[in-house]
Structure 1
Amino acid sequence: MRSYLDGSRAALRVLLCVSLFLFVQPAFADIGDRLEVTEGTTSLYAGPSSAASRLMAINAGEQMVEMERQGAWVFVSLKRSGDQGWILASQVRKATQSNVRAASAVAEAPRINLPVAQPAAKKELKKESAKKASRQARVVEPEVLPVAMEQASSVKILPPPVNAQPEGAFATHKVSLEDLGFRKGIMFEGATVSHAATFFFPAPLDSRITNGTLRLMFRASPDLHEFANIRISINDTPQKQVLLPGDGGMHEVDVLLGPSAFHGKLVKVTVSAVLPMSDDRCFDDRLSNIFLHIMPESSMAISYQPLAESIRDAWRLLPHKVTISLSEGVLSNEQFASTLAVMSILADEGKKVEIVRLPVMGDIVVAPKAALEGMMANGSLRDDKGEPIGPAGKPLDQVSNLALATFANRTSVVVTDPFDVQPMYLLDDNWKMLGAGDHYRVYRPDNLRAHGGLLGTEGEAGFYSLPLTTLGMNVDARYITREVSWQTVISPYALPLGTEPDFLNLEIVAPVRWKDDPDYELYVFLNDILVKSARLADNGMKQHFTVGLPSEYQKQFNEIRVVIQHDIETGDCHGVMPHDYVQITPDSNLVVKKESTLAPAKFSDLSRYFQTGFDTYLDKNYLSHPDKALHLLARLAADFPLVIDHNRLHFVDSTERLSPEVPFVAVGSLGMADDVEAPVRFDRGHVRIQSPKGESYFDVSELSKVTVAEIVKAPFAYGLWVTPSDNADEEVRDRLELTTDNVAFIDSLGVIKTLDSSEPSLAQVYYPDAEDWFDVLGKYRFWLMALLWFLLTMVIVYIYRVAQTNKRARMEDETFYREEEVRVHGDAAAHMVSIDDIAPTDSLDHLDQKR
């Protein structure tokens, strides 16, 4: 008992001491509290460093709201103007209640004392407001540290203090909308629709982030209404809203972000806009030329202190143009396979790749440990400009084949022996599918067997039902005035093995409408082709729609878009727009069926055909000149798509004749066995594409910059045969849209021509150097057909004439026999001779002699 009492007294004493300590401590401000400048004049900075760009000078007593803290710096928003920036914590204090009330009174005083504006005065006030908004939209706030600031006309730039020093080794990572896959930016069109778009930017996971800046570049229709505006939200929190200037020019708006915006893999950015042209909604509705174009150069810049041990941060923060260093000489099969894996992932992410050879040190190095360690030891490594990169910070990891090589002025991701490709996929994640939303098709399974099992719920034999929610469609209820849409892109790897899309089961709940309320209409698109339109019932109950998905409209990646529109026909055009909720319910699903045939007739069929696995055959010369094939293979793997099994990668001599027995991909000027049926055979010399009349379209052999891809048929399997051009080391700049037909001609700009070899009436393949009697027959088939027709006609005429002659002869014989028979019977009657006494053979012998 005594020990218990002693312990209780000790606990009370500790509690009393803590309470006294907290009581005597000064009150520290928290996020959301009001702060004020203590004394003198201080500066508002673009980043948490005295070396960052200075935004403006603020005087003593200036009040602001704390948004977050980082060390000795506070991220604040000024009370009077809403400007944001960083300020030293030692130069501010928590504002007292009396000062807060005084500041609020000063801020509200102009509004209280304003006289009632007359209509004309109101109009002038609106014009002044629009001019002010235009000036605000033109203000360009500074980029993050350490990027230099672009001076804006309405921002006063103060020179940095003389003793300003960087507070750490900072790096800046910049990602644009184009890097995310929005190649043409984002376009909002229409005056009466509330527009919104969401995209995601990747952020470091391990490194210390100091701050960031979202720079939005846009251009809008001229003569917009003064209340047209754009709003920017970060992680679902509104950050800035500006009125859109109606001059039709290019404008920028920056949003400063604190470290808290980057807590997670992705930074969610939502841009919404309202684009009225006038106060008359009916007038605006008739205008179809209203737009707001968010440029693809819009970007997110992140300032951070790199963590030297974080491989995943180094991978996530690779620049848009990546340099890969390979060892000198002939590559091993494993080194080639690892490089191909890395380049395929980078191609998925939209990166530009350049291949160099050691001792040039790139962003990524794929080389044996021995070769790389020797160069690190003797200091022979160079950057892309030929300058030494300095000594290595630490030796390579001797356990893993994936490591970081840190030097004085750069860090590289190293892939070394043993060359295991699986860590390459572990570095990557599926953020890109989210980051690009529905505008950019990207998906790659980390495991080759990820799609090997059956998915969905089996109904009738051979049919499976897949919920749309598992296929990436967000089926949340939507707020509709004029139009809402849901969309998703169905990856071939999301379907059960050996199946193809058949139809959609859509379950929709539409609003209840009054008698005079216009109708709601449903539209369903497959790859931008309208496949269903229907009118929704007005009872507010769940409705079922079956939407067929024709196979002729399907591709490897099928985009499904569901649109519901509300016609606004009656009512006060100056009134309030109708607002209702509509939803695709979560039990909506995609039904897939087993493939009707396994024989691929067009390029899009190969995606499903190859899902069971395939062999890859490459020309052995590519080990000495890997850039001749790596760019093309990476593009094919990313865009076709192909999941290349690196354990089934075979290098063969160009003189070897292939006759695969399983599905295959062959790349190079390889020989194919005679039993392999190919639309275009390059082992027969020159190849010419000509019209059915023999007119030449073009000579494939003379097009040295053209790569040919085609579907070929071996005795037991089908395959894809790709013959690279002479300059295949040039990266294909655009995605390869290989869907229809079975022969494609590709250059550095992408697919330039496709044709279907099963339709010889359109185009034919001709080999001038390897003519056989079939080719001769094909070449002169017109004259041969004419000669055959003439001979056939002559034979028919001859047969006809012979038949006519024989017919006349038979008729004469019949007449003669009848006459003789009449005469014989007449003689017999005259002499009363019995017919039985007459020998028929004797009586007719003279007739034959006479004949």
Structure 2
Amino acid sequence: MTVSSRRSAILSSVLSGACGLIIMHGGNAAQAAEIADAITTLSQQTEIRERVSLKALGLTEPVVLGSSDARRDIYLPVPANVELSEPRLVVDGRYLRADGGQTTYTLAVDGTVVAAQSPTTPQGDVEISVDVEGAPRPSGFVRMGLAWSSATGRFLCDDARPIGNMLQISPDSHLEYSYDAGDVKTIADAWSALPQRVVLLVSSDELASESFDAAWRLGVTLERAGKTVDVAALPTIGSEFDVSGLEIPPALKRVPAFAALAGGGVITLSSDAEIGALILLDAPQLRAHIAVADQMLAGGLTTALKAVAEELERADAAATDAIDTLVVRKNALAMASEPKSIEIATLAGRPVIAVAPDAARAASGLLDGFWRRTASTDHLVVDTAARPDTEADSIALASLNQAAGNLDVVARGDWTTSFNLGTSLPEGKVPASMDVYVAAAPGATATAPVASIFINDYLLGAKRLTADGKAEKISVDIPSYALLPRNTMQVRIQRQPASDECRETPQPFPAAVLPESRIFLKSAPKLGNFAEMTARLAGDASLFVPTSWRLDATRSLPTIIQLADTVGVSPSRATLSFEEGDAEIEPKTPYLAFDTPVKGARDTVKVSGDRVSIADAKGKTFYDVSGLERIAVVQAVSGSKEPGVSYQSVGTPPVFETPFQLAGGDIAVLGDDGVLAAVNSRGAPLYLNEDGSQRGDAPFTWERLLDPAFWMHNLSLLVAGVLAFAFFLLIFFARRAKKRQSSDQG
């Protein structure tokens, strides 16, 4: 018997008094039969329909393919190891042919071309809708490949680089599919089935300390996985709820709880049965994907489901089995999780990852990617799940990205990996430099390919490759201004696509980023800005939150989750404390403080009501404005025993609509749209790795003496050393000559 079955059996006994002992009063047999049919239909619905758009994946601008040849692969997430029903890919866009010539675009799914067009008009719309193979995908992705070709040359070696021929793919392009909820059998599969926008369900707006602590940890883990988190609380009697668009079977409108929801618009909930009806109808606001499964949530769900079950039994006492399936077996989340457990439960028949409050710290380590695939059952008891501590001064790129580094390059190929300062690297360490090993095969021309290294779109170095198939090293320094809490590293390899005198069609030649490539680390420098705080908050950090925030969880949790993710707080290592009033705190570790004063901190930001005053390091005020609303000020704070980041809200706090990043300054003003303004009040320059020869704190090896880059980075030291050696050599020979002269005279 699975965990969900055991939970359903227990819940069934809890609700047995409501499902089987009530005799129907009134109503005719025909109406009862219609209600029974509606209940049965709802109980049999197990299909989940999803839609993944490019916009939801963060591609908010059109994908543009231009020039003579351009290709783009986009990976659309789907539940791993789950069969898809009626998957359909819809691609919308437009093309331009201002330069004329022969133009073609193709659409491929998982490497197979499924649609192609060769437009001849100057411009037009792209409308492609194709069925997709529904076989389970262990990778959890459908690969959509777009290709554009434009040939405008009429004679041999004509310049064929059109700028007016291009293909634009709309961000509204999407993949639609369905799957059976019963096919999601493991925690790892349930995680892969999460949509881009995830609903984190908590028991109420007024959360217990342990549940609040669990919610922010799970929220940050989801944000680190690239999801957008919406925090929802189980509604209570007196809550306002928008029931617009809620589909209610006509027969169930005769049941009071469902009839109260049928009017549409925003209503005030007046009974537990109405809350239960919202759950059974799978209201979008309560469509949970992950939940803090505490006793309060279980109690609220049980009360609501018991109340609606009683009303359904009054309507048709003969529908006991259907009611039991609809109310009990499809809502196993109504049973609280056992201590330290992570499991798959159900709510309205949908799979929900239920996390016990005391398991959230370990769950954030289990689900962050490193251990996730080990969650291959529907129930786990987790005491600890973290990466091993290491004192290493370097880390291999292969440990960050297990994907092969092989590329077939015609004109350009990109190899990309990512790493978090909080979870991918040892505590208190930041990247200082990199040695990237690249190998490339010879091409058709004498023009050598070029490899370029980027971090977060900053070009850090490049090298013209010999391209003889052997490993070639590219050494680059990593300045702090290029680093963010979540970093993207890219190796770009570019070739000259022309072939010998245009007599041949350009063909791809292989290149590879080799697994011996490494990032060298060093201790985080003391900069007094956000770049330093990101590295220091990645370890044993502290979060300080006013107690009042715990009583308004759905408003305060998104703020904590977004900022904790932005500054790099580790959800598996940090601790949360609730603070009363305006008493100053004394942090013992690097900290993130929300509307809480810190003892000894040198605050250059002063907030009083709707007024904000900001001064520089010398105390001179350069910003003093009142009447502000819906903003917050974030500051990298020093002066106390431990460094940290403070968040001070002004008026009604902002609601962050999209993720944002803090730059290398020490003060940022935030609004609903993220960073509105940022400044470096200390005037100190950003950290640079001026001693590039020292690859972080890496030990010296004789290999460096054979590395030309080592001597180039140390040219000044080399010249000084040679001059000093020559000087001492001159003195030595001068003394010997003087002694010889003295002996000859004697």
TM-score, normalized by the shorter chain, greater than 0.5:
yes
Which residue type is aligned with residue 581 of structure 1?
F
* CA deviations over 1:398-430 (Å, ceiling 9, x no partner): 5536666757x6647375765531575488464
The residue matched to 1:249 in structure 2 has which SS?
strand
- Partners of 1:337 and 1:646 within 8 A in 2: no
Match of 2:387 among 450, 465, 479: 450
Spell out the pairing of 1:89-104 with structure 2 (5 A cutoff). none
Structure 2 CA distance, aligned partners of 1:327 and 1:645?
A: 22
Q: Which residue of 2 aligns with 1:592?
A: 520
2:630 is the alignment partner of 1:712: no
Structure 2 CA distance, aligned partners of 1:321 and 1:544?
A: 41
Cα deviation for residue 333 of structure 1 reads 0.3
Structure 2 CA distance, aligned partners of 1:203 and 1:299?
A: 16
2:150 is the alignment partner of 1:276: yes
Q: Which residue of 1 aligns with 2:581?
A: 654
Q: Which residue of 2 aligns with 1:190?
A: 67
- Partners of 2:362 and 2:385 within 8 A in 1: no
Match of 1:536 among 462, 465, 468: 465
- Partners of 1:600 and 1:609 within 8 A in 2: no
Q: Which residue of 1 aligns with 2:96?
A: 221
Q: Which residue of 2 aligns with 1:379?
A: 308
Cα deviation for residue 706 of structure 1 reads 0.9
Distance 1:744 1:637, change over 3 A: same
TM-score by length of 2: 0.66
Q: Which residue of 2 aligns with 1:624?
A: 551
Structure 2 CA distance, aligned partners of 1:693 and 1:601?
A: 15
Cα deviation for residue 741 of structure 1 reads 0.5
Match of 1:421 among 346, 356, 360: 360
Greater relative contact order structure (CA < 8 Å, 6+ sep): 2
* CA deviations over 1:205-244 (Å, ceiling 9, x no partner): 45x5333112222322334767533333333344343435
Which residue type is aligned with residue 219 of structure 2?
M
Which residue type is aligned with residue 531 of structure 1?
L
- Partners of 2:108 and 2:115 within 8 A in 1: yes
Distance 1:292 1:604, change over 3 A: farther
Pick which of 603-612 and 743-752 moved more: 603-612
2:162 is the alignment partner of 1:287: yes
Q: Which residue of 2 aligns with 1:60?
A: none
Structure 2 CA distance, aligned partners of 1:242 and 1:666?
A: 56
- Partners of 2:530 and 2:664 within 8 A in 1: yes
* CA deviations over 1:53-80 (Å, ceiling 9, x no partner): xxxxxxxxxxxxxxxxxxxxxxxxxxxx
Cα deviation for residue 271 of structure 1 reads 0.7
In the alignment, structure 2 segments of 5+ residues that lack a partner are 1-42, 237-274, 280-285, 312-322, 374-382, 686-746
Q: Which residue of 2 aligns with 1:344?
A: 220
Cα deviation for residue 300 of structure 1 reads 1.6
Cα deviation for residue 319 of structure 1 reads 5.2
Pick which of 210-219 and 396-405 moved more: 396-405
Q: Which residue of 2 aligns with 1:478?
A: 407
Cα deviation for residue 539 of structure 1 reads 5.6
* CA deviations over 1:70-99 (Å, ceiling 9, x no partner): xxxxxxxxxxxxxxxxxxxxxxxxxxxxxx
Q: Which residue of 2 aligns with 1:181?
A: 58
Structure 1 CA distance, aligned partners of 2:305 and 2:123?
A: 55
Q: Which residue of 2 aligns with 1:131?
A: none
Distance 1:198 1:698, change over 3 A: same
Distance 1:175 1:708, change over 3 A: same
When the two structures are aligned, how many residues end up with a matched partner?
Answer: 563
Structure 1 CA distance, aligned partners of 2:480 and 2:161?
A: 37
Spell out the pairing of 1:33-72 with structure 2 (5 A cutoff). none
Cα deviation for residue 276 of structure 1 reads 0.8
Match of 1:231 among 70, 82, 106: 106
Q: Which residue of 2 aligns with 1:507?
A: 437
Cα deviation for residue 592 of structure 1 reads 1.2
Q: Which residue of 1 aligns with 2:420?
A: 491
Match of 1:754 among 657, 678, 681: 678
2:210 is the alignment partner of 1:334: yes
Match of 1:170 among 47, 51, 62: 47
The residue matched to 1:470 in structure 2 has which SS?
helix
- Partners of 2:541 and 2:569 within 8 A in 1: no
Structure 2 CA distance, aligned partners of 1:274 and 1:282?
A: 20
Cα deviation for residue 626 of structure 1 reads 1.7
Structure 1 CA distance, aligned partners of 2:124 and 2:567?
A: 39
Cα deviation for residue 755 of structure 1 reads 1.2
* CA deviations over 1:633-652 (Å, ceiling 9, x no partner): 11123333322358721111
Structure 2 CA distance, aligned partners of 1:666 and 1:694?
A: 22
Which residue type is aligned with residue 189 of structure 1?
G
Cα deviation for residue 702 of structure 1 reads 2.9
2:463 is the alignment partner of 1:524: no
Structure 2 CA distance, aligned partners of 1:647 and 1:542?
A: 41
- Partners of 2:65 and 2:148 within 8 A in 1: no
Spell out the pairing of 1:111-190 with structure 2 (5 A cutoff). 170-184=47-61, 186-190=63-67
- Partners of 2:87 and 2:178 within 8 A in 1: yes
Pick which of 710-719 and 638-647 moved more: 638-647
Structure possessing the higher radius of gyration over alpha carbons: 1
Cα deviation for residue 722 of structure 1 reads 1.0
Which residue type is aligned with residue 214 of structure 2?
S
Q: Which residue of 2 aligns with 1:554?
A: 483
Q: Which residue of 1 aligns with 2:666?
A: 742
The two structures, once aligned, show a CA RMSD in angstroms of 4.2
- Partners of 1:168 and 1:305 within 8 A in 2: no
Match of 1:253 among 128, 139, 147: 128
Structure 1 CA distance, aligned partners of 2:137 and 2:414?
A: 30
In the alignment, structure 1 segments of 5+ residues that lack a partner are 1-165, 383-387, 435-445, 456-462, 762-851
2:341 is the alignment partner of 1:467: no
Structure 2 CA distance, aligned partners of 1:205 and 1:477?
A: 26
Structure 2 CA distance, aligned partners of 1:481 and 1:309?
A: 41
Structure 1 CA distance, aligned partners of 2:385 and 2:342?
A: 20
- Partners of 1:500 and 1:594 within 8 A in 2: yes
Which residue type is aligned with residue 590 of structure 1?
R
Cα deviation for residue 620 of structure 1 reads 0.5
Match of 1:202 among 78, 97, 110: 78
- Partners of 2:439 and 2:514 within 8 A in 1: no
- Partners of 1:510 and 1:582 within 8 A in 2: yes
- Partners of 1:688 and 1:696 within 8 A in 2: yes
2:537 is the alignment partner of 1:613: no
- Partners of 2:70 and 2:148 within 8 A in 1: yes
- Partners of 1:639 and 1:737 within 8 A in 2: yes
- Partners of 1:224 and 1:246 within 8 A in 2: no
Match of 2:86 among 198, 211, 222: 211
Match of 1:644 among 567, 571, 586: 571
Q: Which residue of 1 aligns with 2:705?
A: none
2:507 is the alignment partner of 1:579: yes
Structure 1 CA distance, aligned partners of 2:346 and 2:386?
A: 35
- Partners of 1:173 and 1:317 within 8 A in 2: no
2:189 is the alignment partner of 1:301: no
Cα deviation for residue 756 of structure 1 reads 1.4
* CA deviations over 1:282-307 (Å, ceiling 9, x no partner): 55544345432322222221122321
Distance 1:250 1:572, change over 3 A: same
- Partners of 1:178 and 1:185 within 8 A in 2: no
TM-score by length of 1: 0.58
